[in-house]
Amino acid sequence: MRTKLTLSPLLLALAVLSAFTVGSLSSRHLPSIAAAAAAAPAPQAPAPPATDGKLRIIIFGAHPDDPEYRGAGVAMKWASLGHHVKLVSATNGDIGHWGQAGGPLAIRRANEVKEVARRLGVTNEVLDIHDGEIMPTLENRRTVTRLIREWNADLVITNRPNDYHPDHRYTSILVQDSAFMVTVPFFAPDVKPLAKNPVFLYTSDRFQRPNPFRADIAVAIDDVMERTLDALLVMESQVHEGGANGDASLFPATEPGRQQRRDQVRKSLAARYAGYANNYRAALAEFYGQPRAGQVRYAQAFEICEYGRQPNKDELKRLFPFFDR
């Protein structure tokens, strides 16, 4: 099921009004029903044209904050060059908080990531699947396959399937399960199959079993780090309030306490990407050479998935057009 949850209160009011109009007109006024339906807000922004020569990247995560963290830095770098990036949360995040849950939390988180996307200059979508409950079903495989096709993706990014959270694991499995099916004409035939299989990449993680993450490519994000942190810090329910494992003391009501927390989470988020630069310095050197790689402060690294198109180094440089800048 794919219902977009990023409706602002105003759009929501318009949607309710449109639904009421359609419902109250009934079959006696068919032409008006069509007109009312046409006036309803579009379910999502139309995909930019596939023929503008720009790259098309889709990044999947399980919850409304995962694709944002996983695409941090690179999403903004692509967007600033005019490439098309979409962040997809596979669940609506409706249990991802210690003190609130359900519809209000899903709407709150949808609004948070919508604002993050706006600041990064990218598109986003939140699927209406309950947090903690996503399964690698046929229905969800079709949904993920359709999303990749609709975006006409050159590059698909997600986390690896070895992960502490079941939603993370199954989101990754669903992307893996789509890696071939996106090219198969009679699977989900309502959306045109991709003529060219995208490259699929995994984001970095700390998990060691059954095999540790391997950095096939690493990208410096120093130039966009501060603006990316500004965007990520919009996700107050997760970053400041601590999400599912937080508590009321983390983000107190008083302004000095709040500022202290803002400073603290900004520092710890920056440290995460600084850690990647240190851990994957060898991959940075592969693409930037020395001594430039040694000067990188913040980075993101990716591993090539064995499914999907297998890129060589030249193609990776084409997909990440950042190294000569």
Taking residues 18 to 57 in sequence order and writing x for each that binds Zn ion by CB under 5 A, - otherwise, the string is: ----------------------------------------
> Is 66 among the residues that bind Zn ion (CB under 5 A)?
yes
> Is 94 among the residues that bind Zn ion (CB under 5 A)?
no
128: three-class secondary structure by DSSP: coil
Which residue number has the CB closest to Zn ion? 63
> Is 70 among the residues that bind Zn ion (CB under 5 A)?
no
Give the 3-state DSSP-derived string for 161-190, with helices as H, strands as E and coil as C. CCCCCHHHHHHHHHHHHHHHHCCCCCCCCC
CB of 58 to Zn ion, least distance (A): 17
Tokens coding 34: 């069509």
SS3 content of the chain, % helix, strand, coil (to 5): 45, 10, 40
Q: Which residues of 187-211 are buried (b: 16+ CB within 10 A; e: fewer)?
A: bbeeeebbeebbbbbbbbbeeeeee
Nearer to Zn ion (CB atom), residue 111 or residue 171: 171
> Would strands 299-308 and 199-203 be described as parallel, antiparallel, or unpaired?
antiparallel
Nearer to Zn ion (CB atom), residue 6 or residue 152: 6
Half-sphere exposure of 127 (CA within 13 A, CB side): 28
Calculate helix-pair angle for 138-150, 166-181, nearest 10 degrees.
60
CB of 62 to Zn ion, least distance (A): 5
> Is 112 among the residues that bind Zn ion (CB under 5 A)?
no
Burial bucket for residue 182 (CB in 10 Å: 0-12, 13-18, 19+):
buried
> Is 62 among the residues that bind Zn ion (CB under 5 A)?
yes
CB of 61 to Zn ion, least distance (A): 6
Nearer to Zn ion (CB atom), residue 68 or residue 216: 68
Nearer to Zn ion (CB atom), residue 62 or residue 316: 62
Angstrom distance (rounded) from CA 43 to CA 265 = 34
Nearer to Zn ion (CB atom), residue 63 or residue 281: 63
Nearer to Zn ion (CB atom), residue 90 or residue 305: 90
Q: Which stretch binds Zn ion (CB under 5 A): 59-67, 170-178, 182-190, 300-308?
A: 59-67
CB of 231 to Zn ion, least distance (A): 17
Nearer to Zn ion (CB atom), residue 63 or residue 84: 63
Are the C-beta atoms of 300 and 216 separated by less than 8 Å?
A: no
Q: Which stretch binds Zn ion (CB under 5 A): 24-32, 58-66, 84-92, 289-297?
A: 58-66
CB of 167 to Zn ion, least distance (A): 6
> Is 63 among the residues that bind Zn ion (CB under 5 A)?
yes
CB of 192 to Zn ion, least distance (A): 31
Nearer to Zn ion (CB atom), residue 111 or residue 183: 111
> Is 84 among the residues that bind Zn ion (CB under 5 A)?
no
CB of 235 to Zn ion, least distance (A): 12
Half-sphere exposure of 254 (CA within 13 A, CB side): 4
Please tell me the total number of residues recorded for the chain in this structure. 325
Nearer to Zn ion (CB atom), residue 95 or residue 316: 95
Angstrom distance (rounded) from CA 137 to CA 132 = 14
Q: What residue ranges bind Zn ion (CB under 5 A)?
A: 62-63, 66
